């Protein structure tokens, strides 16, 4: 910046010179990916069934997850994929083909 001011140029370069996508291997080549996913919230699943009493006697807690490339389809008392509640979108940003931060879901 100081060199630019000394040479009587603006302190920052043109935006256009920063907006071009540099060549691979330069350390700043960026790309992205995005899509849809079925959202499956935290839920309990039966892991041990009492057949004589016709009830579940032991549950496991399953953490929230996303099924990429699938829409959540809810029909009366069933959902596909199982336990999904809605369809969301996701995006990822990559720098030099390496994921730059967590996947963003909305």
Q: How far apart are CA 65 and CA 101, in angstroms?
A: 18
Which residues have a Cβ under 8 Å from the Cβ of 27 and sit 6 or more positions away? 95, 96
pLDDT 10s digits, 14-66: 655 655 666 666 666 888 999 999 999 999 999 998 888 788 999 999 999 99
Bridge partners, 78 (sequence order): 75
- The pTM assigned to this predicted structure is 0.67
């Amino acid at each position: 910046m100081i060199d630019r001011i000394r040479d009587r140029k603006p302190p920052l370069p043109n935006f256009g010179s920063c907006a071009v996508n540099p060549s691979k291997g330069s350390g700043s080549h960026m790309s992205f990916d995005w899509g849809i996913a079925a959202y499956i919230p935290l839920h309990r699943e039966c892991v041990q069934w009492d057949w004589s009493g016709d009830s579940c006697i032991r549950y496991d807690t399953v953490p929230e997850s996303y099924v990429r490339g699938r829409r959540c389809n809810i029909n009366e008392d069933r959902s596909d994929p199982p336990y999904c509640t809605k369809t969301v979108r996701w995006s990822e940003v990559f720098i030099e083909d390496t994921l730059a931060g967590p996947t963003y879901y909305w």
